[in-house]
Amino acid sequence: MILLDRVTKAYGKGSKPALNRISLHVEPKEFVIMVGTSGAGKSTLLKLLTCEEKPTSGKIVVGGIDYHTLKGRQIPLLRRKIGVVFQDFKLLPQRTVFENIAFALEIAGMTNREIRNTVPKVIELVGLKGKEKSYPRELSGGERQRVAIARAVVRQPKILIADEPTGNLDPKHSWEIVRLLEKINRYGTTVILTTHNAEIVNKLKKRVVTIENGKITSDQAQGSYRQFGGLKENAS
């Protein structure tokens, strides 16, 4: 469960808040799409959830952890609950597909045996069987994003944040990634997807939360993409 109660984030004293008294409730296993123009506050919201930024005021509770009382040493535990994927994949170029995914487990202190056991399962899940020994440069954009998703879910987080995961992909690969996110969601992971892709938003028929100017301006159960203030929908 994700709960934000009147959360404000201002980056500088006296500056206009990036988020202004936002309240949001996301149930376990939900699939939520977050939309809004560039500068609306989406990344700030995601950074608050991953504890990269602290709120100026308001309450954040994720999976029973109240961020206000969170100690520094508990942050790794919290991050375990939240997997993140980005538009630009952020893979390690000198490592193979297998090694990129294994890396997430190595830093978590898993044994080689556990790693050898776990990684093939997640490679299978994301449809990359046969590509274990490939390097990122040998993969298509869609395949690279699959590796990034595999790495994000290999420790079985409760929540997967996908921040513009299709931003660098063509329509066919974009849909493959969205279908993979749906599959991961069906297995029980809460998914939060930010996107500027109107077609994806309109066809998915999921909950759509719209952020404009640091405020949630709409929250629809089976939402659609609305054009914002005349700005281009693919502005990033």
Judged by the rule CB under 6 A, the positions of this chain that interact with ligand ADP are 11, 18, 36, 38-44
Cα angle 129, 152, 91 (rounded to 5 degrees) comes to 75
Give the contacts of 127 (CB within 8 A, at least 6 positions apart). 146, 180
Closest approach of Cβ 230 to ligand ADP, in Å? Answer: 17
Q: Are 146 and 128 in contact (CB under 8 A)?
A: yes
CB nearer to ligand ADP: pick between 143 and 164: 164
Q: Which is nearer to ligand ADP, 40 or 154 (CB)?
A: 40
Q: Is 140 within 8 Å of 170 (Cβ atoms)?
A: no
**Smallest distance from the beta carbon of 134 to ligand ADP, in angstroms?**
32
Between vectors from CA 162 to CA 231 and to CA 22, what angle results, nearest 5°? 65
* CB of 214 vs ligand ADP, minimal distance in Å: 7
State both tokens at 105: 């487990």
Q: Please say which residue, 44 or 145, places its beta carbon nearer to ligand ADP.
A: 44
Choose between 43 and 96: whose C-beta lies nearer to ligand ADP: 43
As measured in angstroms, the least distance from the Cβ of 67 to ligand ADP is: 17
* Distance, CA of 131 to CA of 120 (rounded, Å): 11
Least distance from ligand ADP to the Cβ atom of residue 176, Å: 24
d(CA 232, CA 123): 36
| Helix (H) and strand (E) counts in the chain | 7, 10
> Would you say 122 and 152 are in contact if contact means Cβ atoms under 8 Å apart?
no
CB of 71 closer than 8 Å to CB of 34: no
CB of 10 or CB of 78, closer to ligand ADP: 10
Cβ distance to ligand ADP smaller for residue 42 or 146: 42
